[in-house]
Chain A
Amino acid sequence: MDWIAKHALSLTILVPFITCLLILLVPPERKTVIRVMAAVATSITLLISLWLCFRFDFAKGGIQFEERLEWVPLAGVSYHLGVDGVSITLVLLTAFIIFTGVFASWTIEYRTKDFLSLLLFLVTGVFGVFVSIDLFFFFLFYEVAVLPMYLLIGIWGTGRKEYSAMKLTLYLLLGSAFILVGMLAVYFLSPTGTFDIPELLQTAKFTVEQQRILFLMFYVGFGILAGIWPLHTWSPDGHASAPTAVSMLHAGVLMKLGAFGVLRVGMSLLPEGAQYWAPLMGTIAVINIVYGAFSAMGQTDLKYVIAYSSVSHMGVVMLGLAGMNAVSLTGSTMQMFAHGIMTGLFFALVGLVYEKSHTRDILKMGGFAEKMPGIAVAFVVGGLSSFDLPGTSGFVAEFLTFWGVWKSYPWMTYIGVAGVVITATYVLRVVQKVFLGKRPEGYDDLPDARTTEWVALVVLGAILIITGIMPRLLTDFLNVGVHDYLKLLGKV
């Protein structure tokens, strides 16, 4: 038990990885066994994440649950894990999304074993990224997550899956190319030659010119992953083509990784560079919000609507980062969590609707609420959170963000808030077209969600409302984390 407590973060990486290997040993016909194994593994990671949250020391702040193992081949590399107030919420987010994601992919019959083992391998990488505080391992885990994504979309996807899989993979790797170069530059410019982030924060002093160039590198590299305009085009294609669980994980978690990377690596290591580029970041974020929302409005494919709404909402996250004050950063990091849960819920729902009605074209749907009331309710909950109805977590997050940004760049708030109105338009349009109105011919025996399918709906929907009513559950963590980052930015 003591060992477990000391290595909790390693366990979040190891449990999915070991289960992934174990699944490879099970004969492919034993599909239920494989599914149960995946469900157990993800429940364990969820429990570990919850346990971490309970044990988090608010008074102490900083990086907690540290684990460190010297790792020789590349000098200055150590297997160094730890979470701060921000990344712990993201670990929790990942745990929730993958837990529900496994249940959302319960009905996959085609090569189930390969699917779930690849999914768990992907999750290994995702957890690894959030808990690594060594740049090198951060990068390593990031790369580990890329390949399974290609195969998952390419084999189990829908629509133009091969095109989308390739596009997504190449964009992400392009981002990692910038990150790699920035990372090596940080290593060689730092006085001690290290990849260790806490050590870099203490010792490294970069000149203003260096900071400006390096921050741009990291901003572009991580920004691609966060879906910044105009490098976002991989995201709608990729998310629309991916199988449900992968869309959930990718839109829900991995895009946050991009924003988090900008915060942790870019802004905290290179504060002066960040301040220099903040107006650009903010402007692009505003474009993201408005452009993403308009694009979502123009889609007829249900999954593309959600995918573009992610682009729009990620704009809010990036806008909050650009604001660089306590309120906007809290809003931004809260939006990471809120949007992760919300978009996970949406993709799970779209997956269900598609599975039952065999269409994603919203013009061909209508009146589905009558046949699938549970799905309709969950969709409306997600939708309300999407356009910031008070009482949902989306409201808290976006309100804080816009409020905070007002203090730094008021004009960005004016335009950004307009995005919320457009969001309301397309969300209500989808609700109306799909769930209300007259039901077309041929949809008379649509079933509602069944057994395992409820898990994602109930869990994610409940989190949206609970964190909306009691935002303190999250903001307590975030305040601690944001305080640390503000200190690094020299704003406290």
Chain B
Amino acid sequence: MASWADILNLTLPHLWLLAGTLLVLLVEGVAPRRWHAGGWTAAGVFAIGSALSSWSAMDGELWQGMYVWDGYARMLTALIMIIGALVCLSSVCCEEWQKTGDRGSYYALLLLSALGFTLISCSGSLLTLYITLEIGTVSLFALAGHRKTDPRSGEAALKLLIVSATSSAILLYGISLVYGAYGTTVYSQLPLGIMPGTGGNQMGLIGMLGMILVIGGLAFKITAAPFHLWVADVYQGAPTPISAFLSTASKTAGFAALLRLLIIGLHGAEDVWVMVLVALSALSMVLGNLVALAQSSLKRLLAYSSVAQAGYLLVAVVSGVELGLGATLFYLLLYAFANAGAFFVAQALQGNVGSEEIDALRGLRYRSPTLAFSMLIFLLSLGGIPPLAGFWGKLYLFWAGASEGHYTLVLIGAITSVIALYYYLMVAKRMFIDAPEQETPFRFPRSLGTAIAICVVATAVIGLYPRPWLEWSYASTFLTVPPDLPRTAIQQTER
């Protein structure tokens, strides 16, 4: 039985977020409106939280392995909190609804949602996974509908609600089947598998079905095709900072859950889930990129591009070895900055032109050179052009995929990246080559500018000096790995 001190130590970042939620509500109630105190406090809470989580030195498990605090959890928790801080920065004194709506609930819900997502990366059992996923998602319904005057925002909220409820139901059904088959939900105790060496299929039909349902439920979260149909509408309708949060933090959380589940819980059944994920990956890359070609709205374009990015990430996930795990973490890190940054630019666009059509970007170079340059950086990073972060990220993803012999998948990835570059460059063309319709310079709040600047700097720095970030990612692969984790892959390459 862990002592209270241990519990406090291990869950400190999450407790801090919980306390921060209350603090934000209090501050927003007390301080004058024009101070935007809630937003700044929330950003501060996130910043401190990410520092707390990356510096907490202790590793450990609580409650029979239901809650695990290790390097992996630490990195993802810190990452989600950094995203949270950026989203708060971009929200402060920005949008129309901020002037009328109640802001306290917005930031409090954001913090709660982040709490759920950070806990996902620590969940060591299917039950904690389910509960934390719900904490994270339920708050997002309200956030997506926060632009109360816009019917599309309401649509986004409703759509998110229905889709999440469905995916949760699927997930829960899968969990119940797994529990029924094996009598436990804790990853490290799941005796799944076509165990190496034994040959026969010991997994059983029910367990297999349960596992596939669980993966299906999580596929909604990571927006992998064909579970992606909600993405574009929700991203388009939700307030832009929330779209940024959904496309980065929510996806990070989905991958956090998926990776731990697959590699700790289901490592024995690798043959089965690799097949499923290869299909999901190929489909996401092809569908996401092709559909993105036809979009005229910047936010929808980014939505479909994020579906494609999920496909790229899965290329590394299917390799299932440490190489792939580190590559996924690294990509999640740099993807968060580039994608959130692109959404922030969309937000600045909406604030100035009142539209988030791609055509509204025309001649952005003349109206706001820095904004145009930032957007270019984000797009090229997403497209994987050196010397930006995305190049290294994609290279490592493909490297990991190729290391396990998934050459077809890597080839699909490389070719669809070219398609992706087409629509990214079409955006760049509007900004840099087309003439502007109006000459009025763009104006946007300094807080939003800061958020964009942080994303640009991060994308450029990771690109120019990837080494420490890569080392961090690879150091953050699981610490609490069961000793019998098969490394068949590594043995194969050695042979």
Q: Are B398 and A140 in contact (CB under 8 A)?
A: no
C-alpha spacing A294/B467, complex, angstroms? 52
Q: Chain A: which residue is nearest B394 at the CB level?
A: A180
Q: Specify which of A74, A170, A188 is in contact with B422 (CB 8 Å cutoff).
A: A170
Closest to B395 in A: A74
Q: Mark B423-438, 1 if CB is under 8 A from A, else 0.
A: 0011011001100000
Contacts of A180 in B (CB 8 A): 398, 410, 414
- Complex: A460 Cα to B117 Cα, angstroms: 64
Task: Flag whether A18 is at the interface (Cβ < 8 A).
Answer: no
Q: B17-42 interface mask toward A, CB cutoff 8 Å, 1 = contact, 0 = none?
A: 00000000000000000000000000
CB contact under 8 A between A177 and B433, given known A73-B470, A166-B425, A188-B403: no
Complex Cα spacing A187 to B386, Å: 20
Q: Which residue of A lies closest to B400 (CB)?
A: A184
Q: A188-208: which residues lie under 8 A (CB-CB) from chain B? A: 188
Given contacts A73-B467, A74-B399, contact A181 B407 (CB under 8 A): yes
The answer, among B386, B391, B418, for a CB contact under 8 Å with A173, is B418
Partner of B386, one of A143, A174, A178: A143
Binds B, one of A19-27, A148-156, A395-403: A148-156
Type the 1/0 row for B368-406, where 1 means its CB is closer than 8 Å to any CB of A: 000000000000100001110001100110110011010
Any chain A CB within 8 A of the CB of B172? no
Contact A166:B415 (CB < 8 A) given known A74-B399, A143-B386, A188-B493: no
CB neighbours (8 Å) of B398 from chain A are 180-181, 184
A31 to B202 CA separation, bound complex (whole angstroms) = 75
The complex places the Cα of A162 from the Cα of B418 at a distance, in Å, of 17
Whether A69 sits at the interface, judged by CB under 8 Å, is: no
Which residues on A sit within 8 Å (CB–CB) of B410?
Answer: 180-181, 184
A155 and B433 form a contact (CB under 8 A): yes
**Contact A181–B467 (Cβ < 8 Å):** no
The interface size bin for chain A is 20 to 34
Within 8 Å of chain B (Cβ to Cβ): is A185? yes
Interface contact A162-B429, CB-CB below 8 Å: yes
Given A177-B417, A185-B407, A187-B402, A154 and B429 touching (CB < 8 A)? yes
Complex contact A73–B433 (CB within 8 A): no
Interface check A169, CB cutoff 8 A: yes
A187 CB contacts on chain B under 8 angstroms: 399, 402
Using A154-B429, A177-B418 as known contacts, say yes or no to A72 and B467 having CB atoms under 8 A apart.
yes
A73 with B429: in contact, given A166-B422, A173-B421 (CB under 8 Å)? no
A63-101 contact mask (Cβ, 8 Å, vs B): 1 or 0: 000000000111000000000000000000000000000
**Does the CB pair A174–B418 fall under 8 Å?**
yes
Q: Is A363 an interface residue (CB 8 A)?
A: no
Of A74, A150, A181, A188, the residue contacting B411 (CB under 8 A) is A181
Query: A184 — which chain B residues lie within 8 A by C-beta?
Result: 398-399, 402, 407, 410
A477 → B minimal CB distance (Å): 31
A162 and B434 alpha carbons, distance in the complex (Å):
10
Residue pairs across A and B with Cβ atoms less than 8 A apart, 11 shown, are A73-B392, A74-B396, A140-B391, A143-B385, A162-B429, A166-B425, A180-B398, A181-B410, A181-B414, A184-B398, A187-B399
Closest 4 CB pairs of A and B: A177-B414, A184-B402, A173-B418, A181-B411
